[in-house]
Amino acid sequence: MIRIAVFVSGSGTNLQSLIDSCKTGFIPGNIVLVISSNPGAYALRRAEKNGIETAVVVRKDFGDKENFSAAILEILKGKDINLICLAGFLQQLGGNIIREYERRIINIHPALLPDFGGRGMYGMRVHEAVIKSKAEYSGCTVHYVDEEYDHGPVIMQKRVAVEENDTPETLAEKVLKEEHKLYPEAVRKFALGQIGLSGGAAEKG
């Protein structure tokens, strides 16, 4: 059973899908800690409802991302965390935490990376950009986190067709539905040791 920490900033529907998948045993692991960068995040309530320890670390309380990440490292200390899942976590992590948890931090992004990723590309902005570009497909990507935004090796992807009448909102809904399946699958594979360190198990659906 792996020990998982989930980092959140918002509503936490991906956190919920991970909680549910641990409960059913689909993920052979336990979420032992949820860290939020936003004290008002509904994700914190989801964690509390499930008896999961929570912590809040606000980015503006720290001078730079290294100090911010040092505060997070302090919270993680002694908790024996095998995997950190970013689930709608809107802060960039410093090199210190990325080095300490090398290839043990993964993220879900609501597009087919490397397209529609990078600084400022999060949440609804991603779907607006996809619709504007008239792309035929969008989807979601689970990838390892490195020091660049939305950049580390891809672990799994799921494609979603963009229909002519899709709006950013309808596309977001379709992609989110797939995220809730893809993220637990990727975490399960990680727990079972079925993912290469270079993201070699990349799958396009």
- Shortest distance, CB of residue 77 to ligand GAR, whole angstroms? 26
Contact between 87 and ligand GAR by CB under 6 A: the answer reads yes
Q: Return the residues of window 164-193 that contact ligand GAR according to CB under 6 A.
A: 176, 179
Report how far residue 199's alpha carbon sits from residue 50's, in angstroms, rounded to the nearest whole number. Answer: 31
Can you tell me which of 108, 154, 155, 191 binds ligand GAR, judged by CB under 6 A? Answer: 108
Q: Judged by CB under 6 A, how many residues of this single chain contact ligand GAR?
A: 16
> What CA–CA distances, in Å, run from 78 to 3, 81, 111, 155?
12, 8, 35, 28
Is residue 151 part of the annotated active site? The answer reads: no
Nearest in space to 183 (alpha carbons), one of 145, 148, 142: 142
User: Residue 84 carries which side chain, given as an amino acid letter?
Assistant: I
Q: What is the DSSP letter of 74?
A: H
Per-position DSSP letters for 85-135, written without gaps between them: EESS--SPPPHHHHHHTTT-EEEEESS-TTTT-STT--THHHHHHHHHHT-
Options 10-18, 63-71, 97-105, 130-138: segment touching ligand GAR (CB under 6 A)? 10-18
Give least dist CB 42 to ligand GAR, A: 8
92 near ligand GAR, judged by CB under 6 A:
no
Task: Among 4, 5, 10, 29, indicate the residue that binds ligand GAR (CB under 6 A).
Answer: 10
Q: Which is nearer to ligand GAR, 14 or 21 (CB)?
A: 14
CB 154 within 8 A of CB 113: yes
Q: Which of residues 3, 11, 92, 168 is near ligand GAR by CB under 6 A?
A: 11
Q: Which of 101, 116, 122, 144 binds ligand GAR (CB under 6 A)?
A: 122
User: What burial class does residue 40 get, using C-beta atoms within 10 Å of its C-beta: 0-12 exposed, 13-18 middle, 19+ buried?
Assistant: exposed
Catalytic residue, from 109, 127, 143, 180: name it.
109
Binding pattern for the stretch 39-78 against ligand GAR, x by CB under 6 A and - elsewhere: ----x-----------------------------------
Residue selected from 55, 65, 118, 123 as contacting ligand GAR according to rule CB under 6 A: 123
The dihedral built from the CA positions of residue 186, 188, 190 and 194, taken in this order, carries a sign that is negative
Q: CB 89 → ligand GAR: shortest distance, Å?
A: 7
Contacts of 74 (CB under 8 A, 6+ apart): none
H or E, element range at 137:
strand 137-144
Known catalytic residues are 109
